[in-house]
Structure 1
Amino acid sequence: MSAIILLLFGLGGMALGYVFYSKFIAQHIYKLDENFKTPAHEMEDGIDFVPTNKFVLWGHHFTSVAGAAPIVGPAIAVIWGWLPAFLWVTIGTIFFAGVHDAGAIWASVRNRAKSVGALTGEVVGNRARSVFMIVIFLVLLMVNGVFGVVIAKLLINNPGAVVPVWGAIVVALLIGQLIYRMKASLPLVSILGVGALYFLIYIGPSVPMALPEQIGFEAIGYLSDSAAWILLLFAYAAIASLLPVWMLLQPRDYINGLQLFVGLILLYGAVLIANPTVVAPMINIDVPEGTPSMIPLLFVTIACGAISGFHGLVASGTSSKQLDKETDARFVGYFGAVGEGALALAAIIAATAGFASLADWKAVYHAFGQGGVLAFVNGGATILHAGTGIDEVVASTLLTVMAALFAGTTMDTGLRLQRYIFQEWGEIYNIKWMGKALPATLLAVGSCLVLAFGAGGADGTGGLIIWPLFGTTNQLLAGLTLLVITVMLVRRKIASAYTLIPLVFLLVMTLAALLLQLKGFYESQNWFLLGLDIVVLVAAILVTLECASALRRTKREMAEADA
């Protein structure tokens, strides 16, 4: 089958969803009000609360939530065949992700930009908030710990990506100054920024850079190149999380968003020109031994790209603090989800049509968990070369930089969000020093490094140990975020079916996946993950019961008021 069919149906469905469905949700469900004074204006401080142009904020939101996950998940899930992954990404983007992301921004903006964890305390209750914030912390710990490893591996495997990945930070700093200090034209700045970024991508393969095999000092021992990159990445992320959002976070995310769209245009254009054939089966009935059941695992393997709880953390953690007008939530939240869906669709096409034959595809997908970023990079580079004539090394560097930059922006935002969690804990439990930015940042970095090196040893890959639980924990978070939004809608006497149906589906699939994983961890005698799985499962049940109780209580209060 031609990959063009997937491209047209996938992008066409998402475009129609944004034009029609998102407009209905914005006007009739969330009832976005252009005249509502957003926290970015009410609490403006020039650091975290900054009214922001919706296009720039879209870039921040989209690239922060995207990361490597919408590439990794779909490129692994095609082991069950391309059709299930394609349907979940397309339908999930239209009816799940867009509603979730825009709703999380709206809910936070209507409550002084509080995070979804803190918001749970007001909407549901303090017990639910305490449990919910533990789930949030675990998700952030997983994201930050693993993405550090992912970026390190990408830089080690492709030294030509080092210059553009780190050079993008310098470009972002200059863009921030041009936009906010010099008030330069946004279109001009965008052209200059994208041009500079792609120039770095072009010259990157000519100046490959790699750390020495072992670096360090005799007194403290040597570090592997993987460990050294991880430490450098967390040092950068800590500094970035403390800088004002306009200085680095916003412009870095914005320019990355633009370069992604340029990259997607190139990749999709190459598909239209080369017309590659999808060699993977539509539904794979000959899965490798040990591959888990597609249902419910498909719906947690593909999170980002269909719906993801991490999006709610970004939406209520940073995006809501920068929203200029409440009506911008539709563009920033829903269209941000569409952008991620488009990236997930590209990953599916690259991982199914970027191979010469079915035998070549099976050679890569010989076990569950195979494929991922490398399948996207290699398959995408093949399609780019065939369709545009771009040298395969340059094409591979372009896609590697795309993946690394998104993972990096997610780390930037993720560490800032983790800092917010510690600060909120400081406020809740009256620990004054924890409520300050620097100590909270050090706690956030310290917890990630303890996981990375404490569980993973000298190479710093400890985050990968708990990664098998990311999908279920992340989707649980999405369901619980939808629960909070649903309670708010019920209290406002607004139709809640548009959030209630997705949340019921997510909770059922996630709880089923947690139970399935529980059985697998027990059989493999992985007691650490077994215990962590039980913690997440209990948390899911407790918060769900608390939210159900809050819904019943709200309906009873409304009935009494009407009487």
Structure 2
Amino acid sequence: MTALIVLIGGAIYLFFYFTYGRKLQSEVVRADKDRLTPAVRLRDNVDYMPGQKMIVFGHHFASIAGAGPIVGPAIALAWGWLPALLWVWFGNVFIGGVHDYLSLMASVRYDGKSIQWVAGKLMHPRTKYIFEIFVLFALILVIAAFEGVFARLASTNPTVGTSSFLFLVIAVIEGLLLYKTKLSFRVASIIGVLMLIGAVVIGFVWPFLAFTSVRTWYVLQFIYIIFAASLPVWIILQPRDYLNSYLLWFGLALGGVAALIAFKGFSWPAFTTFSAATIVAGKPAPFWPAVPLVIACGALSGFHSIVASGTVSKQLDNELSGLFVGYGAMFTEGFLSTIVITSIGAFGFVVLANFKEAVTTAGVNLDQFILGGKYLG
């Protein structure tokens, strides 16, 4: 069953990428390889910097694939694994992937301007200001959430802080290898991946960044944010996400192979209810219209338009690369969510049963967790 689901998911994404995606590219976007992109036409080697297609894909994929495509599908299993899978597959193909691709190309056609600016241009000037205010507060919330998670992790586990620090140093080196040396793209990539593996190993063997203060990690992160936002994209932003995508690829490959060779049936129910399943914080919610809010990354996420228009559109070297970067990265994220649903559907009860004594001792009601994700809100 696990192998069948993974194969069906992969086949759906491949089929629609080469059919529906190509139709969008030729008939809706009308992409033209001879039309100069903003990255080429407005190149300043700071924000506007054309990158190799795989590098830009890695940057976009790593930027959109955070915790969302993992946590969201896990919560949505309260409705059953089948509704969650159908939304991840077809919601992605016909809505999420289209949204990502078209928001990217809309920005490309308007000199790499933000999606807020494009909305104001095409709809009404007032729309731009409303959208900008919303995006500002949304990004503040996102930064605060991830800052808090990382600060707590790094303060209690020096391996996290050490590997992350080394990873940033490696990203700068990788940027220099890609753009300031005569090394080929393949050689520079291999060196970067080897350095990335070394950073992880050193983090486990010699975790030298052992700051136990959460506040210290908050300060360090804010300093990093200022530098990352100010430096040219090729120095840290682009190579950082490109290398980070290899971690995601490794996880995808590992999960995909495990699902293929497991040949295990689903222990989780295919369907529970379309009405009031207890999803988050013990509150009941119907499958529709709640599912787009629960499974955002992996099927449909408006945040992706901020990424696509904020940085990615300024790095696209050719309009024909937009389908691979925008549509393709969203499909890859959907495949990640497919593996998450498959893994939990097949092994979720087994894993929870193995840890039942431990979580009960910690004061967690496992039955409530299984029935509705009570502790995920």
TM-score by length of 1: 0.60
Classify 1:208/1:5 alpha carbon distance in 2 versus 1 (closer, same or farther; 3 Å). Answer: farther
Instruction: Specify which of 313, 326, 333 is matched with residue 333 of structure 1.
Output: 326
**Residue number in structure 2 paired with 1:314:** 307
Where 1:291 maps in the other structure, the secondary structure is: strand
**Residue number in structure 2 paired with 1:16:** 15
Alignment of 1:21-170 (within 5 A): 21-155=20-154, 159-170=158-169
Q: Deviations over 1:334-364 (max 9, x none)?
A: 1111121122222223333343538639554
Tell whether the 8 Å contact from 2:3 to 2:262 is kept in structure 1 after alignment: no
- Aligned-residue offset at 1:287: 5.1
**Residue number in structure 1 paired with 2:270:** 282
Classify 1:255/1:294 alpha carbon distance in 2 versus 1 (closer, same or farther; 3 Å). Answer: same
- Aligned-residue offset at 1:212: 5.2
Q: Deviations over 1:135-181 (max 9, x none)?
A: 22222122212122233344456554333333221221111000100
Classify 1:144/1:162 alpha carbon distance in 2 versus 1 (closer, same or farther; 3 Å). Answer: same
Supply the RMSD in Å over aligned alpha carbons: 2.4
Alignment of 1:112-261 (within 5 A): 112-155=111-154, 159-208=158-207, 211=210, 213=212, 215=213, 225=214, 227-261=215-249
Residues 1:344 and 2:337 are matched in the alignment: yes
Indicate the structure whose relative CO is greater, using CA pairs within 8 Å and at least 6 residues apart. 2
Alignment of 1:442-481 (within 5 A): none
Higher alpha-carbon deviation: 272-281 or 300-309: 272-281
Where 2:317 maps in the other structure, the secondary structure is: coil
Tell whether the 8 Å contact from 1:156 to 1:210 is kept in structure 2 after alignment: no
Distance (whole Å) between structure 2 residues aligned to residue 163 and residue 345 of structure 1: 32
The amino acid of 2:245's aligned partner reads: G
Classify 1:149/1:75 alpha carbon distance in 2 versus 1 (closer, same or farther; 3 Å). Answer: farther
Distance (whole Å) between structure 1 residues aligned to residue 183 and residue 247 of structure 2: 20
Q: Of the two, which has the highest radius of gyration?
A: 1
Alignment of 1:263-412 (within 5 A): 263-285=251-273, 290-355=283-348, 357=350, 360=353, 363=367, 364-365=369-370, 367-368=372-373, 370=375
Classify 1:169/1:344 alpha carbon distance in 2 versus 1 (closer, same or farther; 3 Å). Answer: same
Tell whether the 8 Å contact from 1:279 to 1:358 is kept in structure 2 after alignment: no
Distance (whole Å) between structure 2 residues aligned to residue 148 and residue 256 of structure 1: 18
Aligned length: 360
Tell whether the 8 Å contact from 2:193 to 2:246 is kept in structure 1 after alignment: yes
The amino acid of 1:244's aligned partner reads: P
Q: What is the percentage of aligned positions where both structures have the same residue?
A: 36
Where 2:251 maps in the other structure, the secondary structure is: helix
Distance (whole Å) between structure 1 residues aligned to residue 269 and residue 155 of structure 2: 32
- Aligned-residue offset at 1:195: 2.3
Distance (whole Å) between structure 2 residues aligned to residue 263 and residue 341 of structure 1: 14
Distance (whole Å) between structure 1 residues aligned to residue 208 and residue 88 of structure 2: 36
Q: Deviations over 1:428-453 (max 9, x none)?
A: xxxxxxxxxxxxxxxxxxxxxxxxxx
Tell whether the 8 Å contact from 2:162 to 2:209 is kept in structure 1 after alignment: no
The amino acid of 1:343's aligned partner reads: L
Distance (whole Å) between structure 1 residues aligned to residue 149 and residue 284 of structure 2: 23
Classify 1:343/1:183 alpha carbon distance in 2 versus 1 (closer, same or farther; 3 Å). Answer: farther
Tell whether the 8 Å contact from 1:80 to 1:294 is kept in structure 2 after alignment: yes
Q: Deviations over 1:41-75 (max 9, x none)?
A: 22111100011111111111111122222122122
Q: Deviations over 1:278-337 (max 9, x none)?
A: 322212359555332222211111111101111111111111111111111111111111
Distance (whole Å) between structure 2 residues aligned to residue 76 and residue 317 of structure 1: 29
Tell whether the 8 Å contact from 2:277 to 2:286 is kept in structure 1 after alignment: no
